[in-house]
Amino acid sequence: MSTSAASVALPQRPLWRRLIGFNLLTAVLLGIGGYYLGWFLGNQVTGASYYYEPKVNESDVSLLLAYVMGVIGFLAGLGFLNYPASRLIGRPPSLREKEGHGWTRYLGLCTDHKVVGIQYLLGIGFFLFIAALNAMLIRVELLNPTPTAFGPNQYLSLVGMHGTMMMGMMTSGILGPFANYFVPLMIGARRMAFPRIEALTFWLLMAAGFILTSTVFFGGFPTGWTGYEPLNDQAVMGMDSYIIFFALVGVSMALLGLNMIATIVTMRAPGLTWSRLPIFCWSVLATSILMVLAAPTLIATLLMAAFDRTISTSFFVTSGGGSSYLFENLFWFFGHPEVYVLALPGFGIVLELLPVFARKPLWGYRLAVAGMLGVSLLSFFVWQHHLFVSGINADLRPFYMLSTEIISLPTGFIFLCVMGTLWRGRATFTVPMLFCLAWTFNFLIGGLSGVFVSDAPADADTHGTFFVMAHFHYTIVGGLIFAFFAAIYYWVPKMTGLRFNERLAKIHFWTMFIFFNTTFMPLFVLGMKGMPRRVVDYATNLVPLNRWVSINAFLLGASMLVFIANAVYSLVLARLPAEANPWRSRSLEWQTPTPVPVNNFETIPVIDSDPYDYGTPLPAHAGEPLAAGG
């Protein structure tokens, strides 16, 4: 037995010894323990005080405490409290921990940004699947104009879970997997700025996801993803799941954004000036600014709601001097930046991928950057367009109409850059390219329908109807999810060294594109014909269209199954090997070896141009990987 064998002697330890330590099993056990401890303490608090007597049956205090302590236990079990504790007693700072090898590193705290990226991809994929299943169930119910499959309460819970999970989880849909994995590679860094925080954002999000799912045990919540007060205050205990979920997502978002900004600002390789930064990193930066600033407002708002539900404050309860307007203002002050948190990374992906497949430099780089930052800045000044009919500051409607319509200017920049990059290019229509083109079409419809909603007079018809629902599904599914899949098909060969089956991928694309449009296009008509959102019972004249939409939604769901089948077949069963640089990209991340070493770069590369240096004939051997550091 040499010393090197001793250092990797882990597999020889008996099973029971390996199960003890900071790992997922400990985390789950401590999480459950923390949950019951919190529940017990909550019951002690509420039981001891006559003040809480009227509410003791519902024990919101107990549930909130149980959730919070459960999350703390979970994180402690994963090992997140070790480093803070060691710092408390003065141990020197360190950068990395737990970067082992083997598949088990994906199941616990790992500070390697590439592991976190893949954790995010799988975790978010899982919750995306759950939320999409909810959507399928919603469409099952809407096959008939009266409740058949579910009662009104289950239906509202489904609607709420679908919306909340999508809006919460998918905020990190692109930043989580792809920015964590590729931003350090693109900027020539060996790590993220705060690797532990990076891992924390992921595990917080997972804890949040399961907390939201657990709402079904507490009666669900009737408010939809907006959680409007005072309905929020009246709702049963399931509402607490919503509150904790969104607050945790807010913490995760803010930390993710902080980490991204710190990474991009401080860790760029020498020579990577701001004007050479890949456009995807710019979109991550613009998104992160929104995350850092908007998410704290959400957290504060939800904590106010939690206080209203537990210790009887009256932020939003009119009989105690509160106001439901306060919640609407605060929520949408977060909520509108939030929707751009969803859209902006999509802009980045599309503009990053188009030059590779059009074999041209990115057209209008500065305009694209201005567009993203412009959207980011303006999105803080538009929130009351969600409240055009609410009666809040009705005299300010012209201002909010103007600011909302002005946002279409920077968004228009992105479209011009897309069109300019395609101009006289030499496009190959690979699957990622098809998804980018589909993004352009979908987001165009999303943007143009937004004009109807942003127009204050016309909004009186469309507000709160399926028209609005179709509008934001076009921007979020059509914008974010299509870009998400473009990124999957483009980057998974780099992440895994494996590629997707091309034929199945094309079937997935075409079915998804067609059924997406046949599902959501009729919703505009339904909304215009008077179908409100979130109703379980609707007028009989809307039945045929609703059935059409439901059937197409199922087909859209089937298209997702094609993708899952492809992923299982290509990446797990057949393990189709990918070329080193299948798209002949010049971006830095493709110049690293696959799999990427833990430290990414042997020597930090020196950058002398932006990554869009296409447009000159390639030498014959360009498909082969360049040496790292080139």
Partner 1 sequence: MSETNHFRRLMLLWLGASAVATPLVVVVLGPSLPPGNGSAQASGHVTDNTVLLGMATPVFLLVVVYLIYAVTNFRQQPGAVLEGPAVRGDARVQTSWIVITSVLVLALAAYGTAELVGDGAGSGQGPNPAFAPSGKKLQVQVIAQEWAFTYRYPSYGGVETPHLVIPVDTTIEFHVTSLDVIHSFWAYQLGVKADANPQVDNIVFVKPTKQEAFNIRCSELCGIWHGYMFDTGRVVSAAAFQTWIRQQQAVFAPVAGYLPPYSTTYLPQPSGRGT
Partner 2 sequence: MAEASEHLGAMAAVALGVEIPPEPPEVGARQHYLAARLLAGATSFFFLAFVFAYFYLRSLNVEHMWRPKGVGPEQGYGVAILICTLASGALAILAARMLGREQRSWVRAASGALGLGLAVVVLQCLEWATQNFGPASGAYASVYCGWTCFYVLAVIGTLYWLETHVATELRARRRPAATGGDIFEPDRLIKPGLDAAVFYWGYLVGLGVLTYIVLYLV
User: Which residues inside 305-324 make contact with partner 2, applying CB under 8 A?
Assistant: 307-308, 311-315, 318-323
User: Could you give the CA distance from residue 351 to residue 141 in angstroms, rounded to a whole number?
Assistant: 39
Given partner 1, partner 2, none, residue 429, with its beta carbon under 5 to 8 Å by kind, binds partner 1
Taking residues 86 to 105 in sequence order and writing x for each that binds partner 2 by CB under 8 A, - otherwise, the string is -xxxxxxxxxx--x-x----
Given partner 2, partner 1, none, residue 5, with its beta carbon under 5 to 8 Å by kind, binds partner 2
By beta-carbon proximity to partner 1, the closer residue of 338 and 459 is: 459
By beta-carbon proximity to partner 2, the closer residue of 464 and 593 is: 593
Looking at the DSSP assignment, which residues form a beta bridge with residue 577? 498
- Residue 320 has a CB neighbour count (10 Å cut-off) of 11
Please state the closest distance from residue 2 (CB atom) to partner 2, in A.
7
Pick the binder of partner 2 from 68, 69, 156, 292 (CB under 8 A).
292
By beta-carbon proximity to partner 2, the closer residue of 308 and 610 is: 308
Is residue 275 at the binding interface for partner 2, with CB under 8 A as the rule?
A: no
Q: Which one, of 444, 453, 443, 448, lies nearest residue 527 by Cα? A: 453
Please state the closest distance from residue 261 (CB atom) to partner 2, in A.
6
Given partner 2, partner 1, none, residue 528, with its beta carbon under 5 to 8 Å by kind, binds partner 1
Q: What is the sign of the dihedral through the CA atoms of 607, 609, 613 and 618?
A: negative
Is residue 261 at the binding interface for partner 2, with CB under 8 A as the rule?
A: yes
Site for partner 2 in 578-597 (CB under 8 A): 597
For 308-333, the DSSP string reads HHHS---SS-GGGT--HHHHHHHHHH
By beta-carbon proximity to partner 2, the closer residue of 139 and 191 is: 191
Looking at the DSSP assignment, which residues form a beta bridge with residue 532? 465
Please state the closest distance from residue 134 (CB atom) to partner 2, in A.
29
User: Could you give the CA distance from residue 98 to residue 92 in angstroms, rounded to a whole number?
Assistant: 17
Q: H or E stretch including 208?
A: helix 195-213
Could you tell me the two tokens for 309? 């539900």
Please state the closest distance from residue 30 (CB atom) to partner 1, in A.
32
User: Could you give the CA distance from residue 170 to residue 226 in angstroms, rounded to a whole number?
Assistant: 16
**Helical ranges in 142-194 per DSSP H:** 152-169, 180-186
Is residue 329 at the binding interface for partner 2, with CB under 8 A as the rule?
A: yes
Please state the closest distance from residue 318 (CB atom) to partner 1, in A.
4
By beta-carbon proximity to partner 1, the closer residue of 180 and 241 is: 241
Please state the closest distance from residue 438 (CB atom) to partner 1, in A.
10
| Contact by Cβ (8 Å): 160, 242 | yes
Please state the closest distance from residue 83 (CB atom) to partner 2, in A.
10
- Residue matched to tokens 């060691």: 86
Of 82-90, 136-144, 560-568, 577-585, the window that binds partner 2 (rule: CB under 8 A) is 82-90
Of 205-213, 301-309, 464-472, 479-487, the window that binds partner 2 (rule: CB under 8 A) is 301-309
Site for partner 2 in 4-43 (CB under 8 A): 4-5, 7-9, 11-12
By beta-carbon proximity to partner 2, the closer residue of 230 and 374 is: 230
Could you tell me how many residues of this chain bind partner 2 (CB under 8 A)? 65
Angle at 357 between CA 355 and CA 361, to 5 degrees: 20
Looking at the DSSP assignment, which residues form a beta bridge with residue 498? 577
In Å, the largest CA–CA distance within the chain is 82
Q: Which one, of 507, 376, 334, 526, lies nearest residue 431 by Cα? A: 507
Q: H or E stretch including 7?
A: helix 3-7
Looking at the DSSP assignment, which residues form a beta bridge with residue 366? none
Q: Which residues lie closer than 8 Å to 88 by C-beta, 6 or more apart?
A: none
Please state the closest distance from residue 115 (CB atom) to partner 1, in A.
35
Given partner 1, partner 2, none, residue 440, with its beta carbon under 5 to 8 Å by kind, binds partner 1
By beta-carbon proximity to partner 2, the closer residue of 265 and 574 is: 265
By beta-carbon proximity to partner 2, the closer residue of 113 and 360 is: 113
Q: Which residues lie closer than 8 Å to 67 by C-beta, 6 or more apart?
A: 35, 38, 211, 240, 241, 244
- 558 to 121, 341, 554: CA distances (angstroms): 21, 28, 6
- Residue matched to tokens 């049956």: 57
- Residue matched to tokens 């209203």: 308
- Residue matched to tokens 């059937």: 551
Is residue 304 at the binding interface for partner 2, with CB under 8 A as the rule?
A: yes
Is residue 476 at the binding interface for partner 2, with CB under 8 A as the rule?
A: no
- Residue 30 has a CB neighbour count (10 Å cut-off) of 21
Cis check: omega of the bond before 270, within 30 degrees of 0:
no
Pick the binder of partner 2 from 121, 161, 166, 295 (CB under 8 A).
295
Site for partner 2 in 156-215 (CB under 8 A): 190, 193-194
- Residue matched to tokens 């900004």: 261
Is residue 301 at the binding interface for partner 2, with CB under 8 A as the rule?
A: yes
Given partner 2, partner 1, none, residue 598, with its beta carbon under 5 to 8 Å by kind, binds partner 2
Given the rule CB under 8 A, which residues bind partner 2? 1-2, 4-5, 7-9, 11-12, 51, 84, 87-96, 99, 101, 190, 193-194, 254, 258, 261-262, 265-267, 292-297, 299-301, 303-304, 307-308, 311-315, 318-323, 325-326, 329-330, 597-599, 602
